[in-house]
């Protein structure tokens, strides 16, 4: 069919963007599910993206070695900064991670000989295929669904509800929070590595404050009650601007209004609203 033949050349970037944004939404789900309000995932995405791109461009490394190395770098950096930073909570933690994101962006800007500075990196090989993203999303989603139902997942949910009570039960709250923070950073780094290998280009401006807020919005809109909420949030944030493209200059305004309505009528996220609606519509046994 003609439409099918033209679909992939036209929408391949959008489809791959949906996949990488789902990975980013799952990365912020990990931290939010433990009660951590952070906006550093864009910086971790940038670290993973630049590391993977440099390895494939200069050392001709295979895609997945570069992507894995980028995710590992982001996780190691998160491990280093997480120990002192996670002593904070709430808005103070958000401010600290925001500052870290700016440090990463400025470092990339000034390391011109390695990162290309403000001009970024051009000519990144197009190595990411649809099945690479599909396998990554399926594998990570499976692992996080299993994690959510495990003892670790239930403990993380308990920390989000009441950190003090969880600590009084004899659980090492700091270790669980560090695990969530490092795992989310590593996943964001993997998403960054996959992303740069189908966009051909990357620059520091792609990993600033706006990108961090966008990733946070994916997790909040989808809901932190389940990894499936992150999937919904990632898809919505990616597709909504495209669906509203025909509105021209009114698109940002309508996009914002839609997000505000969702937050007002489903403050716990779309996944919670969908589950509530389904439970109410199910026939009750007498």
Tens of pLDDT, residue by residue over 216-238, are 888 888 888 889 989 998 998 88
pLDDT computed for residue 29 by the predictor: 94
Answer yes or no: is pLDDT of 123 > 80. yes
Residue 175 half-sphere exposure, CB side, CA atoms within 13 Å?
7
Mean pLDDT of 260-269: 69
Residues in the chain: 286
Question: Is 238 part of a structural domain of the chain?
Answer: no
Answer yes or no: is pLDDT of 244 > 90. no
Answer yes or no: is pLDDT of 255 > 70. no
Average pLDDT, the chain: 87
Mean pLDDT of 197-210: 89
pTM of the model: 0.91
Question: Is 5 part of a structural domain of the chain?
Answer: no
pLDDT computed for residue 224 by the predictor: 81
Lowest-confidence pick of 137-141, 202-206, 239-243, 259-263:
259-263
Q: What is the total count of domains within the chain?
A: 1
Contacts of 33 (CB under 8 A, 6+ apart): 148, 153, 156, 157, 160, 180, 224
Answer yes or no: is pLDDT of 159 > 70. yes
Angle at 148 between CA 147 and CA 154, to 5 degrees: 110
Q: Which residue has the higher pLDDT, 259 or 133?
A: 133
Using CA atoms, how far residue 190 sits from 18, 38, 78, in Å, is 14, 18, 14
For residue 72, name the pLDDT band (cuts at 50, 70, 90): very high
**Nearest CA to 23 among 190, 270, 199, 200?**
190
Contacts of 72 (CB under 8 A, 6+ apart): 186, 189
Question: Is 137 part of a structural domain of the chain?
Answer: yes
Sign of CA dihedral 107, 111, 117, 118: positive
Question: Is 94 part of a structural domain of the chain?
Answer: yes
d(CA 201, CA 208): 16
Answer yes or no: is pLDDT of 193 > 90. yes
Question: Is 240 part of a structural domain of the chain?
Answer: no
Lowest-confidence pick of 54-58, 79-83, 166-170, 173-177:
166-170
Mean pLDDT of 263-270: 68
pLDDT computed for residue 1 by the predictor: 54
Question: Is 228 part of a structural domain of the chain?
Answer: no
Q: Pull the structure tokens for residue 5.
A: 């033949």
Question: Is 246 part of a structural domain of the chain?
Answer: no
Question: Is 235 part of a structural domain of the chain?
Answer: no
pLDDT computed for residue 158 by the predictor: 92
**Full domain range(s) for residue 141:** 11-221
DSSP classification of residue 186: H
24 within 8 A of 190, measured Cβ to Cβ: no
Answer yes or no: is pLDDT of 165 > 60. yes
């Amino acid at each position: 069919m003609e439409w099918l033949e033209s679909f992939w050349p036209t929408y391949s970037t959008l489809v791959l963007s949906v996949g990488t944004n789902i990975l980013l939404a799952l990365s912020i789900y990990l931290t939010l599910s433990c009660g951590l309000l952070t906006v550093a995932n864009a910086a971790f995405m940038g670290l993973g993206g630049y590391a993977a791109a440099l390895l494939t461009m200069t050392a001709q490394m295979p895609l997945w070695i570069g992507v894995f190395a980028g995710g590992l770098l982001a996780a190691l950096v998160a491990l280093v900064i997480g120990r002192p930073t996670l002593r904070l909570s709430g808005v103070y933690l958000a401010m600290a991670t925001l500052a870290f994101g700016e440090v990463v962006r400025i470092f990339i800007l000034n390391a011109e000989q390695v990162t290309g500075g403000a001009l970024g990196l051009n000519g990144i090989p197009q190595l990411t295929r649809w099945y690479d993203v599909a396998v990554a999303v399926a594998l990570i989603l499976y692992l996080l669904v299993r994690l959510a139902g495990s003892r670790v997942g239930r403990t993380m949910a308990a920390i989000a509800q009441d950190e003090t009570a969880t600590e009084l039960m004899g659980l090492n709250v700091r270790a669980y929070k560090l695990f969530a923070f490092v795992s989310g950073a590593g996943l964001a780094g993997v998403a960054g590595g996959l992303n740069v290998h189908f966009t051909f280009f990357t620059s520091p401006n792609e990993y600033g404050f706006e990108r961090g807020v966008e990733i946070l919005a994916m997790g909040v809109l989808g809901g932190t009650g389940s990894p499936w909420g992150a999937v919904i949030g990632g898809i919505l944030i990616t597709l909504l601007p495209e669906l509203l493209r025909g509105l021209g200059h009114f698109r940002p305004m309508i996009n914002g209004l839609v997000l505000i309505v969702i937050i007002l009528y489903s403050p716990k996220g779309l996944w919670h609203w969908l589950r509530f609606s389904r439970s109410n519509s199910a026939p009750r046994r007498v």
